[in-house]
């Protein structure tokens, strides 16, 4: 029996509570995961054929040799367990900015101790968890392998892979009462139908609908799903690596260079959604913003000494959390991006996808 499974043998089963009659300005949809985080060496990454800042999705948990990583990390001293999942990190970040009972989060979890931990972390952060609970499959998990300021992610979706659009119907009043929506790109691997369902409502009602590419493999291997949902986006977020992956996947003939962030953004708008604003973060470089009229702006990031960076895991999710909080607060595009950069700066100084405690 694996060490990782032993950790969850003794579990306390309970019903995950929620109140679907309440109104939440922001609704997020994504894959709830437990992050298993540890510092590793370049040699460790090479052992599992991983790259720095990579993101791998395990297709078959029974046969993929990278599943051994989870047992490795459990046995390794210093491993930490953090409530994760990109969109769930963003939901907590938005709640950090907006306050409690302003953010609702949809996703699928198992009926186990891990989902209890995720629920507890969301409750502490002021996020309402509208989980679909799968009693046959365990909660998903993500190995976050930290190598200096870089990180590689290896994800076993588990129950997160079994979200159903019908779960949204059960809580449609929450959808109707929302002011904006945020979608983690990882969910394109699970239920594009659920994303489209929310997207249609957002488009019909004129609500902001923010989509994050989330990882380079999303535009590379889930191109058709991305094409389905792009027309509904009012705002599209990605980092420079994800933007390059989009260019290579969608324009293999070289119509746009993979390092031309402005060119990529303009192609997304002209070819897939003429009403969208595209936002490309670029590490310590200025954030590139291209609006629907194809005007370009570059917004400097908040400076932070390298010595103060504790962990880069979740910084992009924090940026998105601050950004969507700005939209909810009615701030300008520039102010919302600045708010996102401010929250990312705070997250970089914490271990894991988390934020400092407020006084």
Helix (H) or strand (E) holding 269: helix 261-272
> Cα(288)–Cα(193) distance, rounded to whole angstroms?
30
Strand partners, 299: 287
> Cα(219)–Cα(221) distance, rounded to whole angstroms?
6
What angle separates helix 261-272 from helix 240-250, to the nearest 10 degrees? 50
The single residue listed with the structure tokens 């590419």 is: 213
Token couple for 54? 């990579």
Complete edge-to-edge strand list for the sheet that includes strand 277-282: 127-134, 103-110, 26-29, 180-184, 209-212, 235-239, 277-282, 285-290, 296-299
Phi-psi region of 352 (alpha: psi -120 to 50; beta: other; left: phi over 0): left
Strand partners, 150: 147
> Cα(276)–Cα(294) distance, rounded to whole angstroms?
10
Catalytic residue among 54, 311, 317, 338: 317
Strand partners, 28: 105, 182
- Listed residue (216, 219, 238) closest to 319, CA to CA: 238
CA 78 to chain centre: 25
Active-site residue flag, 338: no
Which residues does the annotation mark as catalytic?
317
């Amino acid at each position: 029996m694996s060490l990782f499974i032993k950790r969850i043998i003794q579990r306390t089963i309970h019903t995950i509570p929620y109140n679907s009659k309440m109104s939440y300005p922001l609704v997020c949809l994504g894959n709830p995961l437990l992050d298993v985080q540890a510092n590793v060496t370049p040699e460790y990454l090479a052992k599992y054929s991983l790259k720095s800042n990579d993101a791998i999705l395990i297709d078959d948990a029974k046969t993929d040799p990278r599943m051994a990583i989870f047992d490795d990390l459990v046995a390794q001293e210093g491993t930490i367990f953090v409530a994760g999942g990109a969109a769930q990190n963003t939901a907590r970040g938005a709640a950090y900015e907006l306050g409690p009972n302003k953010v609702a989060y949809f996703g699928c979890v198992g009926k186990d101790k891990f989902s209890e931990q995720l629920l507890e972390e969301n409750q502490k952060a002021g996020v309402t968890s509208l989980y679909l609970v799968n009693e046959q499959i365990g909660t998903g998990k993500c190995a976050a392998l930290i190598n200096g300021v870089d990180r590689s992610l290896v994800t076993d979706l588990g129950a997160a892979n079994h979200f159903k659009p019908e779960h949204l119907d059960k809580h449609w009043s929450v959808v109707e009462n929302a002011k904006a929506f945020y979608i983690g790109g990882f969910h394109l691997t699970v239920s594009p139908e659920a994303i489209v369902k929310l997207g249609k409502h957002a488009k019909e009602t004129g609500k902001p609908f923010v989509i994050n590419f989330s990882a380079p493999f999303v535009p590379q291997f889930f191109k058709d799903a991305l094409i389905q949902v792009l027309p509904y986006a009012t705002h599209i977020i990605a980092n420079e690596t994800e933007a390059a992956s989009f260019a290579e996947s969608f324009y293999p003939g070289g119509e746009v260079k993979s390092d031309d962030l402005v060119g990529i953004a303009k192609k997304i708008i002209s070819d897939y959604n003429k009403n969208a604003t595209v936002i490309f973060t670029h590490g310590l470089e200025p954030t590139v913003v291209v609006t629907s009229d194809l005007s370009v702006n570059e917004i400097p990031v908040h400076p932070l000494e390298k010595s103060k960076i504790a962990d880069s895991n979740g910084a992009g999710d924090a940026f998105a959390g601050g950004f969507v909080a700005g939209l909810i607060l009615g701030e300008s595009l520039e102010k919302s991006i600045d708010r996102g950069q401010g929250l990312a700066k705070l997250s970089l100084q914490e271990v894991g996808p988390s934020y400092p405690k407020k006084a």
